[in-house]
Chains A and B, each alone.
Chain A
Amino acid sequence: MSSKHTLDCSNLLCPMPVIRTQNALKELNEGDTLEVICTDPGTLSDIPTWCRINQQEVLSTEEVDNQIIFYIKKTAN
């Protein structure tokens, strides 16, 4: 059973959202989804880059008002 989790990185600046995402994913099981809420525009490039190099999958990215929301699927340990 995969499960969904949420991580709020509002008001955190680079590289904290990346660090928090990395650490949160470590705790999840493969197949789980993590919703990450960010406000630092730098995350638009950094979170997908981190996911690419660490073989995690960004399912989608939404920008709503000043928030950037990533849905990440844990695909590797």
Chain B
Amino acid sequence: MTQANSIQTSNNAPQKKRKAVALISGGLDSLLAAKVIQEQGIHVEGINFYTGFCVEGHTHAIRKKDKDKQKRNNALWVAEQLGIKLHIIDISEEYKDIVLNPKHGYGANLNPCLDCKIFMVNQAQAWAWAEENGFDFIITGEVIGQRPKSQRKETMPIIARESGAEDRLLRPLCAKNLMPTLPEREGWVDREQLYDFSGRSRKPQFELAKKFGFDDFAQPAGGCCFLTDANYSAKLADLWEARGERRYELDDIMLLKVGRHIRPKPNFKLIVSREEGENNFLKGYKKQFTSIHTVSHGGPLTLLDGSFDKEDIKLAAQIVARYSGGKSADAVTVQIENFNGTSYVMDVPPMPAHEVKEEWHV
């Protein structure tokens, strides 16, 4: 009866205010998980990890068409709703290894969810214990069966074990389907007030949200992470193939979020802006890439990525002209600017639409 004894001892001891660190993604589940624990009188602080693939922010900041949407960082919004501190941590460098070499493999796209969760819980744990007073446990918004790969009943213990958090990892939304964790056994939280959600339906979450009075939470289609997006993953896979190695820099993965990506030949691709916001964003890269813009007509800014010769540049210029205001003109004047600042102009006939092959679009 060691377990019962330890509960007894803890209950008789003077009550210390327990502290939990909540992994806050900006989505509904982590919001609810944190709220459930907060309701039990636990001091909660949030931690949010920036991987470089977060759907958050960048896309909205870049694209003008989204200008009317309220631009807010959802994790910050969630923290404010909960009235908790939020620590945002840039893990984009260390995260590369997770994306490039996931021990447990990928999900439907290039999403290494299981390794990602293990890594994030591990980072949260390292951060929490390093904090002056220490935190007693970690909360996530995981729900059994919600994601086919990372959130299965069998994977829950793997995350707890491999992250090093062991039974200091509590998932308030599905805790009742799992073995009691340390915070439950010690009586810091009341297991009876935790939940037994499972499966893909989000209905129980919506009901709980309603109960707590949350009605403006983020529900981004496809989640909060570009790696779950098939188009994005295809672009990332294309980048690796073209380079002949699996490697990326933060700028590479930012650029995959922007513009049309057209690869007419294996050795190079064009990144063609689709609107003004993207144009402005791509301008920031003119010192790193050769760029093309139309002079005789209005048109998009295009970056060239890869290695290319004169013929390739001509081909690229024709494609750029096809996306300019001069697409039906006999010739369009384009300016080619090298990243070292030198530039020259050339006249090219725009490529007819049907010659821009479907398979060039990455």
Instruction: List residues of chain A with CB under 8 Å of any chain B CB.
Output: 11, 13-16, 18-19, 22, 40-42, 44-46, 49-50, 52-54
Q: Is B126 an interface residue (CB 8 A)?
A: no
Q: Is B60 an interface residue (CB 8 A)?
A: yes
The contact string, 1 if C-beta is below 8 Å from chain A, for chain B 74-93, is: 01110110011111111000
B95: min CB distance to chain A, Å = 14
Stretch in B50-58, B138-146, B211-219, B235-243 touching the partner:
B50-58
With the chains together, A22 CA to B158 CA distance in Å? 32
Residue of A18, A46, A53 touching B84 (CB-CB under 8 A): A53
- In the complex, the answer to whether A53 meets B86 with C-beta atoms within 8 Å is yes
Inside 8 A of A42's CB, which chain B residues have their CB? Answer: 57, 60-61, 71-73
- In the complex, the answer to whether A15 meets B50 with C-beta atoms within 8 Å is yes
- In the complex, the answer to whether B50 meets A50 with C-beta atoms within 8 Å is no
B57: min CB distance to chain A, Å = 3
With the chains together, A52 CA to B89 CA distance in Å? 18
- In the complex, the answer to whether B89 meets A13 with C-beta atoms within 8 Å is no
- In the complex, the answer to whether A14 meets B58 with C-beta atoms within 8 Å is yes
- In the complex, the answer to whether A13 meets B71 with C-beta atoms within 8 Å is no
With the chains together, A44 CA to B57 CA distance in Å? 12
- In the complex, the answer to whether B62 meets A46 with C-beta atoms within 8 Å is no
Cβ contacts A to B, 8 pairs, < 8 Å: A14-B71, A15-B54, A19-B88, A41-B71, A42-B57, A46-B57, A52-B80, A53-B84
B242: min CB distance to chain A, Å = 25
Inside 8 A of B83's CB, which chain A residues have their CB? Answer: 53
- In the complex, the answer to whether A46 meets B58 with C-beta atoms within 8 Å is no
Q: Which of A14, A18, A54 is most buried by chain B, counting CB atoms within 10 A of its CB?
A: A14
The contact string, 1 if C-beta is below 8 Å from chain A, for chain B 280-320, is: 00001000000000000000000000000000000000000
Q: Is B70 an interface residue (CB 8 A)?
A: yes
B90: min CB distance to chain A, Å = 5
Chain B residue nearest in CB terms to A22:
B88
Inside 8 A of B85's CB, which chain A residues have their CB? Answer: 53-54
- In the complex, the answer to whether B62 meets A13 with C-beta atoms within 8 Å is yes
With the chains together, A64 CA to B62 CA distance in Å? 19
Inside 8 A of B61's CB, which chain A residues have their CB? Answer: 13-14, 40-42
A3: min CB distance to chain B, Å = 24
Give me the 6 closest cross-chain CB pairs, A-B, nearest first: A14-B57, A42-B71, A49-B76, A42-B61, A13-B58, A46-B73
